[in-house]
Amino acid sequence: MKALVIDDDLVLSDVVSFTLRRAGFQVVLAHNGATALERFTAESPSIVILDLQLPGMSGLDICRAIRAHSTTPIIMLTVMDGDADIVRGLEMGADDYMKGLVI
Q: Write the pLDDT tens digit of every residue in 17-76.
A: 999 999 999 999 999 989 999 999 999 999 999 998 898 898 999 999 999 999 999 999
Answer for the pair 78, 85: CB distance below 8 angstroms, yes or no.
Answer: yes
**What are the pLDDT digits (tens) for 71-93?**
999 999 876 666 776 677 777 77
pLDDT at 95: 84
**CA dist., res. 89 & res. 19, Å (int):** 23
Instruction: Give residue 100's pLDDT.
Output: 60
Catalogue all structural domains in the chain, each as residue range(s) with its CATH number: 2-99 (3.40.50.2300)
User: How far is it, in rounded angstroms, from Cα 7 to Cα 49?
Assistant: 8
| Residue 95 vs residue 15, higher pLDDT | 15
Question: Model pTM?
Answer: 0.88
